[in-house]
Amino acid sequence: MLKLTGPCCHCRHFYISAKSWQQSSSNLGQDHEVNRSQFEAEFVSSHIETNVFQKALLSVGSAAVSILDPSRGDMIAVLGETAGQSAMKYMLHKMEDHPEGQEILRKRPRINSKTVDLSKLKQMPEDTLGKMYWNFLNKNKVTPDSRLTVQFVDNVDLGYVLQRYREVHDLTHTLLGMPTNMLGEVTVKWVEALQTRLPMCVGGALFGPLRLGPKQRQKYVKYYLPWAIRTGSMSEFLMNVYFEKRWEQSIEELYRELNIIPLVVAPM
């Protein structure tokens, strides 16, 4: 019986290791394909076919309702889908031009309670993105499962971009240190409007301040608005951040990488 000795053993070990790596890579590739297939299946099942006239009608109606009642998240979602075609294309191109954005588009990851281990995030150090995201969800009593599925976008790539925008919205709040009250939402909308050009973000940034109280409006004009404009204009494109791979990253390190200077508000 032939016995493997010396260098041949190392060759055999290398062969087994290489084979294991290939199998692991193959499994990762299969996982990514599953992600893509799952989104495409969900996209097809939820898609509602509409013509140009119907989209225009939906845009006008949803815009009117959104202005009168900003709490109507369903109408804000419809506005983004029916009037945001050029903005979605802009976002898609920005992601295609960035390595991390390309990876997101290729793998089509989702952010919900099935894909994110919230219990693991809870155990992370306080200064990590993961723990800060968990703190945000817990404090504001929100869940990553609350985002509506895209319905009126006809292109699957654009549909994913808009779905991704919705699913990272709470992470944008977390990153910017903004609460979910009106002042926080308006501030986030300014950053998102400048970065994404989505119509509902632009509308929220322009009309949202009308609902602020006197004290909030004073803070908004003096601190929040200038900071939001600076952050939206000067920071890295936040849609290119693969948040799921950065849970353990220090928030200070992430700020430096994304060119974000945290807001400091003096007592008034």
Q: What is the rounded CA–CA span in Å between residue 219 and residue 261? A: 18
Q: What is the rounded CA–CA span in Å between residue 95 and residue 106? A: 11
Please state, as a whole number, how many other Cβ atoms lie within 10 Å of the Cβ of residue 17. 10
Annotated binding site: 169-170, 173, 185
Q: How far is CA 69 from CA 119, 148, 207, 216, in A?
A: 35, 18, 11, 19
Which residues, 6+ apart, have CB-to-CB distance to 167 below 8 Å? 110, 111, 112, 144, 147
Which residues, 6+ apart, have CB-to-CB distance to 174 below 8 Å? 129, 132, 133, 136
Helices first, then strands: H and E counts in the chain: 14, 0
Annotated binding site for Zn(2+): 169-170, 173, 185
For residue 144, give the 3-state DSSP assignment: coil
Q: What is the rounded CA–CA span in Å between residue 46 and residue 67? A: 26
Q: How far is CA 172 from CA 19, 33, 195, 215, 241, in A?
A: 40, 27, 12, 24, 10
Q: Which region holds residue 242: left if phi is over 0, alpha if psi is between -120 and 50, else beta?
A: beta
